[in-house]
């Protein structure tokens, strides 16, 4: 699945940042990969007058398609992002029922027509990012940057000229993604403690995607690890050591990625307890091969 040459090209063009890897844990909230046919058959189309703005506010009849099921679908499709360049992207849509616990599809359509505002881009079929890899447990992907400054808080959108498909820009910022996972899953005194901090200016290291990680180099990477059985996996920070060649499991954490005009990187992480470390190590061994932590 990983086309390193194509990925390097997309990275050089700033369409994605190959070091910024995020994932969807399959099975969570019913997330699963489905066919295009199943996806299309579960979309419901409706229309209503929607506020638009050019020179002044007006209303225009707009058609929307929303998802009637409760699970979050994943569809993998090749997309021609420009002439001669096709990449695997994944399409998804937020279920209407996830907007509010008691919200029905009919009520949502009535409310939308009443308020006349366009629906959220997340509630329409959209491309969330570029597919990196698929395992039995995870879909790994890169958020689309589209030569724009990365945004931590807002999600932009555009449409491809070739097929008019809606695509999200900065659908999620990796740093926020990692932090939210930790805060959501790891509730307790340890997570509330101040994180351990490492800085590339004090101890040189390079952030790399997991598929380029070399444990014998001063590199750091992130990969999901099963720390608390039965819960979402946590982003586990791994660090290589050029002197010993032995990778170290630092803990659950996140990166501050370098800006385009700087090579400065930093990472924050919470070390694991002995049991948590063992759980993380065992899951990483099963997924990535032999992982040994320098204690």
Tens-digit pLDDT profile for residues 119-160: 999 999 999 999 999 999 999 999 998 655 555 555 678 887
Please compute the mean of the pLDDT values over residues 225-233 and round it to a whole number: 94
226 or 4, which is more confident: 226
pLDDT in tens, 172-227: 889 999 999 999 898 765 666 788 988 888 888 889 999 999 999 999 999 999 99
| DSSP code at position 173 | -
Q: Tell whether the model's pLDDT for residue 294 goes beyond 50.
A: no
Predicted pLDDT at 259:
67
What average pLDDT does the chain have?
Answer: 88
Q: How far is CA 214 from the centre of its chain?
A: 23
Question: What is the spatial distance between Cα 78 and Cα 268, in angstroms, rounded to a whole number?
Answer: 36
Predicted pLDDT at 295:
41
Residue ranges with strand state E in the chain: 22-25, 32-33, 43-53, 57-67, 73-82, 85-92, 126-134, 138-143, 156-159, 166-169, 196-199, 206-207, 219-225, 234-239, 248-256, 266-270
Q: What percent of the chain has pLDDT over 70?
A: 90
Q: Binning pLDDT at 50, 70 and 90, where does residue 275 land?
A: very high
């Amino acid at each position: 699945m990983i086309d390193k040459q194509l990925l390097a090209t997309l990275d050089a063009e700033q369409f994605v940042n190959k070091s910024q890897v995020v994932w969807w844990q399959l099975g969570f909230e019913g997330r699963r990969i489905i066919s295009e046919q199943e996806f299309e058959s579960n979309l419901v189309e409706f229309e209503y007058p929607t506020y638009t703005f050019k020179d002044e506010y007006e209303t225009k009849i707009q058609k929307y398609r929303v998802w009637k099921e409760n699970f979050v679908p994943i569809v993998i499709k090749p997309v021609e992002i420009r002439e001669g360049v096709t990449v695997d992207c994944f399409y998804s849509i937020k279920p209407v029922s996830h907007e509010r616990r008691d919200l029905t599809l009919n009520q949502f359509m009535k409310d939308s027509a009443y308020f006349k505002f366009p629906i959220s881009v997340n509630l329409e079929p959209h491309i969330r990012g570029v597919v990196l890899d698929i395992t039995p447990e995870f879909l790994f992907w890169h958020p689309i940057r589209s030569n724009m400054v990365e945004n931590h808080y807002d999600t932009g959108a555009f449409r491809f000229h070739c097929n008019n498909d809606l695509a999200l820009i900065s659908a999620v910022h990796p740093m926020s993604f990692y932090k939210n996972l930790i805060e959501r899953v790891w509730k307790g005194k340890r997570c509330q403690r101040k994180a351990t901090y490492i800085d590339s200016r004090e101890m040189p290291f390079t952030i790399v995607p997991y598929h380029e990680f070399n444990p014998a180099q001063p590199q750091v990477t992130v990969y999901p690890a099963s720390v608390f059985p039965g819960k979402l996996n946590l982003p586990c920070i791994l660090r290589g050591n050029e002197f010993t060649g032995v990778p170290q499991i630092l803990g659950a954490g996140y990166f501050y990625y370098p800006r385009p005009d700087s090579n400065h990187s930093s990472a924050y992480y919470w070390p694991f307890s002995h049991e948590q470390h063992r759980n993380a190590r065992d899951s990483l061994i099963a997924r990535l091969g032999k992982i040994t932590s320098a204690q």
